Amino acid sequence: MKIRLLLAPASLLCLVFTLAGCGDKKAADAKGAVKGLETTEQRASYGIGFQIGTNLAHQPGLSLDQTAFAAGVKDAVAGQKVRIDEKLIQAAFEELQKKAVAQIEAQGKENLQKANEFLAKNKTRSGVKTTTSGLQYEVLKKGFSSAKPKPTDKVRVHYHGTLIDGSVFDSSVQRGQPVEFAVNGVIPGWTEALQLMAVGDKFKLYVPPGLAYGPRPAGKIPPNSALIFEVELLAIN
């Protein structure tokens, strides 16, 4: 059965293992709570299922009938033949894909307007500098060195990233673990900003969508989002 799916192959593989291990109706009580999570297999199955469910919940335009979803995976694991015509399934996927694209485009248009309005106002604040690319930044703390990284250098940084509404999407500070990467291996806004920083500097960056992820969603980051980062350059490796 060859059907072009919305999910990545790795996610589909997880799906098979997940529902194969968690599909027993006797494992749930009347309230839907899962019982019998004592063994390694049960716990791993539940954990994978939760991860996949989280991923599915963030799929734009995707609305699942959980009963039909579980039936499809159970049939596949049991080696049963598909219950409906493959053309109908493919048509359904194509329709969902269209809805997802339309939803992303609408959300991206709205977010771009919000981003432009935010950045236009933010650039007028005292202490905020704007580069020719449109990147905005302010210096929170000056470092102890004059050494600045080149595009081919690797750096170690601490950072805290939010959307313009304050929602945190990623933070090495919260994880308590700095990260290392190549200066030219990140989003354009970061590549530009890091070359302005000396070791020990801490900047607050306001990155336009075009210097971030643009019109495509990226994890917790919606399409055409302006991003705010507090970045501290700890070392050049």
Q: What is the CATH number of the domain that holds 149?
A: 3.10.50.40
Amino acid letter for position 214: G
**Residue 19 reports pLDDT greater than 70:** no
The pLDDT value recorded for residue 20 is: 40
Report whether pLDDT(110) > 60.
yes
- When comparing pLDDT for 195 and 56, which is higher? 195
The answer to whether 218 and 224 are in contact (CB under 8 A) is no
pLDDT category of residue 141 using cuts at 50, 70 and 90? very high
pLDDT of res. 207: 98
The token pair that represents 76 in the structure block: 């596949």
Q: Which of 137, 159, 203, 206 is catalytic?
A: 159
Q: Answer with the residue of higher pLDDT: 127 or 37.
A: 127
Catalytic one of 17, 46, 118, 169: 169
Mean pLDDT (whole number) for 142-154? 93
The verdict on whether 187 is a catalytic residue reads: yes
Same domain (yes/no): 151, 226:
yes
CA 176 to chain centre: 20
Tell me whether residue 17 is one of the annotated catalytic residues: no
58 and 131 in a single domain? The answer is no
Structural contact between residues 189 and 227, judged by C-beta atoms closer than 8 angstroms: yes
Residue 191 tokens read as 């590549």
Q: What pLDDT does residue 24 have? A: 43
Does the structure show a pLDDT above 50 at 5?
no
Q: Is residue 114 part of a domain?
A: no
Mark whether 130 and 227 lie in a shared domain.
Answer: yes
Residue 164: active-site member? no
Per-residue pLDDT reduced to its tens digit, 46-103: 888 788 788 777 676 677 788 888 888 788 878 989 899 989 989 988 988 888 889 8
Angle at Cα 11 formed by Cα 48 and Cα 4, nearest 5°? 150
C-alpha–C-alpha distance, residues 206 and 144, integer Å: 24
Q: Whole domain around residue 78: which residue ranges?
A: 9-83
Assess whether 169 carries a catalytic annotation.
yes
**In a domain? residue 1:** no
Q: Looking at the domain assignment, is residue 94 inside a domain?
A: no
Q: Does any domain span residue 103?
A: no
Number of Cβ within 10 Å of residue 25's Cβ equals: 6
- Total domains in the fold of the chain: 2
Measured CA to CA in angstroms, residue 71 lies from 57, 74, 94, 97, 205 at distances of 19, 5, 21, 22, 48
| Angle of CA points 87, 82, 68, to nearest 5° | 95
136 and 226 share a domain? yes
Of the candidates 48, 170, 221, 228, the residue annotated as catalytic is 170
pLDDT at 77: 79
For residue 93, tell me if it sits in a domain. no
| Confidence (pLDDT) at 60 | 64
pLDDT of residue 61: 63
Share of the chain above pLDDT 90, in %: 54
Please say if the pLDDT value at position 181 is more than 90: yes
Is 224 exposed, middle or buried, given 0-12, 13-18 or 19+ CB atoms closer than 10 A? buried
Per-residue pLDDT at 66: 84
E-only strand ranges, the chain: 129-130, 136-141, 154-163, 168-171, 179-182, 202-207, 227-236
pLDDT at 25: 39
89 domain residue, yes or no: no
Strand-pair category, 202-207 with 179-182: unpaired
Q: SS3 for 23?
A: coil
Q: 17, 93, 164, 187: which one is catalytic?
A: 187
Predicted pLDDT of residue 213: 96
Check 137, 203, 206, 213 and give the catalytic one.
213
- One domain, residues 177 and 232: yes
Of 18, 50, 83, the last residue of a domain is 83
Task: Give CA–CA dist 69/90, Å, rounded.
Answer: 15
Q: Does residue 137 have an active-site annotation?
A: no
Has residue 4 been placed in a domain?
Answer: no
Residues 94, 61: contact at Cβ < 8 Å?
Answer: no
* 159 and 222 co-located in one domain: yes
Same domain, residue pair 173 and 74: no
Q: Would you say residue 17 has pLDDT above 50?
A: no
Does a structural domain hold residue 156?
Answer: yes
Answer yes or no: 24 catalytic.
Answer: no
Question: How far is it, in rounded angstroms, from Cα 216 to Cα 134?
Answer: 19
CA nearest neighbour of 147 among 58, 46, 233: 233
* 112: nearest Cα among 10, 213, 233: 213
Mean pLDDT of the chain: 85
First CA to last CA across the chain, in angstroms? 50
Domain finish residue from 55, 83, 111: 83
